[in-house]
Structure 1
Amino acid sequence: MARPLIPAPAPKLINVSRWLWIASAGVGMARFVAQLFDRETLVAEARRQNPALGQDQIDSGVNGGILFGLLIATVILVAYTRLANAMARGRNWARIVLTVLGAASVAFGLFRLVAFGSGTAAALGVAMRPADLAVTVVTTVLDATAIVLMYRVSAHFRTRVVVDSDFLRS
């Protein structure tokens, strides 16, 4: 009787990388959701962009925007989780996609930090709250670390070894 094939376990660094990707997406989603629930700011921004709209129209637009934002945030969190799990199973394509997304996130995070530190953001009228700065630092560090860990164990992606325990005993 043939036994099912058991996938080789992911190395520890790959598992850590997987959880760093998921944590980074979770932190980013939490901050985004917190911004979505700052209704006063959203209403003020909608009123500033469209002063001719009535309050009912603004409320409707803000409510729709919040719902759409929650949907997008959930899709992104699920996508990152699925990519991280595929990467942990040794799928090189998932590692490449995560590398591209992570590199973009790190570059954007560094850009935000430099813009904040140099005063460029304030000169352009972009306000960066302390919470935004903290989330930027945390997600940039998480993404950079996850990328490095994925490439420390490159052999995991070259050979997706599948082990059949009965075959090894014979």
Structure 2
Amino acid sequence: MPSRFSPAAGRPFLVRGRLLALAARGGGPLTADQVDTAVSVGIAIGVVLGIIGVLLWVLMAWANGRGKSWARIVATVLGGLYVLSFLSSLVQGQLSTASLLVSLLIVVVDIATLVLLWRRESSAFYQAAAQPQWR
């Protein structure tokens, strides 16, 4: 989400450097100003998507706290996608040391959260929350 700090967060600066070097040699299709604009737009899009991702996770936490079983499934899918994204970036060697450490911490929290969401006690909580409450 992946929505939290993405393992690929440092990529715009890596791409920017490559494109600027290419433009300086006269072999690139973009000027330095166009490269800067493209990187700025990419960063802005990344920030907006990050904010949307954080809001989705807050919604998942709220819904899971109320015992909504659909939220447990959505959180599992989102967590699984983040772990796959992390593994993909790790295999491709696209992570700086800082990104690796932050992403690894997030993966550990992801896995711990998913384990807690699917424990027997949690399943009993979701079943109880699904029962009609008569007053």
Question: TM-score, normalised on structure 2?
Answer: 0.73
Contact 1:110–1:140, Cα closer than 8 Å, also in 2: no
Determine whether 1:132 maps to 2:89: no
Alignment check: 8 A CA contact 1:87 1:94 kept: yes
Give the structure 2 partner of residue 81 of structure 1: 58
Q: Partners of 2:115 and 2:75 in 1: how far apart?
A: 11
Q: Distance in 2 between matches of 1:54 and 1:103?
A: 39
Q: CA deviation at 1:108?
A: 4.0
Alignment partner for residue 63 of structure 1, among 34, 37, 40?
40
**CA 1:110 to 1:64, structure 2 compared with 1: closer, same or farther past 3 Å?**
closer
Q: Which runs of 5+ in 1 are unaligned?
A: 1-24, 116-120
Residue identity matched to 2:28? P
Where do 1:13-52 residues align within 5 Å?
28=5, 32=9, 35=10, 39=13, 41-47=14-20, 48=22, 51-52=28-29
SS in 2 for 1:154: helix
Task: Kindly indicate whether residue 133 of structure 2 is the aligned counterpart of residue 156 of structure 1.
Answer: no
> What is the CA deviation profile of residues 35-64 of structure 1, one whole-angstrom value per residue up to 9, with x for unaligned ones?
37x75x342144359812112211221121
Q: 1:17 aligns to what?
A: none
**2-side partners of 1:43 and 1:138: how far apart?**
27
* Structure 2 runs not aligned, ≥5 long: none
Q: How many residues align?
A: 126
Q: CA deviation at 1:151?
A: 1.5
> Tell me, what secondary structure is at the counterpart of 2:118?
helix
TM-score if structure 1 supplies the norm length? 0.60
Name which of 86, 111, 117 aligns with 1:109: 86
Q: CA RMSD in A?
A: 3.1
Q: Which structure has the bigger radius of gyration?
A: 1
Instruction: Report the Cα offset of residue 68 of structure 1.
Output: 1.2
Matches of 2:19 and 2:108, distance apart in 1: 33
If asked which structure has higher relative contact order (CA below 8 Å, sep 6+), I would say 1
Letter of the 2:128 counterpart: T
Q: Do structure 1's residue 98 and structure 2's residue 75 form an aligned pair?
A: yes
CA distance 1:66–1:105, change in 2 (3 Å): closer
Question: Structure 1 residues 82, 46: closer, same or farther in 2, change over 3 A?
Answer: farther
